[in-house]
Structure 1
Amino acid sequence: MNKNRQIKEAKVAEIREKLEKAQAVILADYQGLTVEEDTQLRKTLRSNGVEYKVYKNSLVTLAAKELGLDGIETYLEGPVAIAFGYEDATAPARILNDFAKDHKKLELKAGIVEGEIFDTNKVVQLASIPSKEILIAKLLGSIKAPLSNLAYLLSAIRDQKEAE
């Protein structure tokens, strides 16, 4: 087997592993971004635990077919960057969507969440979901508010009884 084929097979295996491991994968067209803009995007993604890569579309198609992700090849045309979210399924979509609002050259193409292929509209919907930390904070806040009110009420009743 020639060396070039071995390299390609290794890349396909790497991509397949990343696709399997990731909670969410977002595909984006990055053509037209300046080096500074791309560097800024990569830094933001990295700081949020998202891996951002560019692979040959044919290799991504092969890896996706091995995983049974048929239909993704329609989104793999032209220059495509891939954001892999391993910890938070909404992070890659949210960060890329926010970045695309300020940088019109970046265009969301599609996504894969838990083996399901999302079109651009579903990716934008996914981006609108807050992060896990924010959702937990909201849940705790909604639990804490009634308890705080109850404690305040009991304290007021005790103060009133002591005053009598």
Structure 2
Amino acid sequence: MRIEKELLKNHVAEAIKHSHFVVFIDFTGIKVSVFSELRKRLKAVNCRCLVSKNTLIRMALNEIKPEAVLAENIFKGPTAVLTSEEKDVTAVAKILKNFIAEFQLPKIKTAIIENAVLNETDFLKLADLPGLEVLRSQILLTLQSTGTRLVRLINEPASALARLIEKYSKKES
């Protein structure tokens, strides 16, 4: 393999290796200005969009994630690879869903999230989920309210007894 191709393959492999998820999209028919807009929106959520030859992408993926068995038709037509070191895949899914609704392109070929392979439909369902920070705050709120209820439940018998004693002490006075 030529040194230039080896460097490109290594660049794609490094991006995939350090990414929490990988999304493969087909950008056939997208004008350069529209594709630049997509890249700009993705960059806002720290997502990189790499374009390379399918053979180099396949080789890089096999080198980094050999367990990710992808259908061969994924590597047909022009392919862009979306990677991010951020854990919040829902932000990228929301951008892609809105972009597809706006421009009817690109087509999502597949996505790999924590060794799970998702098709386009399943990946776009992630866009309907709240973001990672929202989920964390909801979990904390649930835990906090559960703890508060537990403390009230534990304190209630003693509080009831104290109220009862106070009630009887006022009657006797």
Deviation at 1:92, TM superposition (A): 2.5
Q: Deviations over 1:48-94 (max 9, x none)?
A: 11111111111001111223033254312111121112112413223
**Conservation of the 8 A alpha-carbon contact between 1:111 and 1:123:** yes
State the TM-score, normalized to the length of structure 1.
Answer: 0.76
Task: Map residues 8-157 of structure 1 onto 2, 5 A cutoff.
Answer: 8-66=5-63, 67-68=65-66, 69-90=68-89, 91-142=91-142
AA of the residue aligned to 1:109? K
Partner of 1:25: helix, strand, or coil?
strand
Match of 1:5 among 2, 10, 13: 2
State the TM-score, normalized to the length of structure 2.
Answer: 0.72
Q: Deviations over 1:21-72 (max 9, x none)?
A: 1111111122222333222211111111111111111100111122303325
Calculate percent identity across the aligned residue pairs. Answer: 26
Partner of 2:49: helix, strand, or coil?
strand
Partner of 1:22: helix, strand, or coil?
coil
* Alignment gaps of 5+ in structure 1: 148-164
Q: 1:134 to 1:25 in 2, by over 3 A?
A: same
* Alignment gaps of 5+ in structure 2: 149-173
Distance 2:124 2:21 in 1: 13
AA of the residue aligned to 1:34? K
**Conservation of the 8 A alpha-carbon contact between 1:93 and 1:124:** yes
In structure 2, what is the equivalent of residue 159 of structure 1?
none
Distance 2:46 2:127 in 1: 16
Distance 2:9 2:76 in 1: 17
Distance 1:58 1:14 in 2: 14
**Conservation of the 8 A alpha-carbon contact between 2:12 and 2:50:** no
Deviation at 1:139, TM superposition (A): 3.2
Distance 2:56 2:88 in 1: 23
**Conservation of the 8 A alpha-carbon contact between 1:24 and 1:114:** yes
AA of the residue aligned to 1:113? I
Larger Rg: 2
AA of the residue aligned to 1:83? L
AA of the residue aligned to 1:19? I
Distance 1:35 1:11 in 2: 21
RMSD: 2.6
Distance 2:71 2:17 in 1: 15
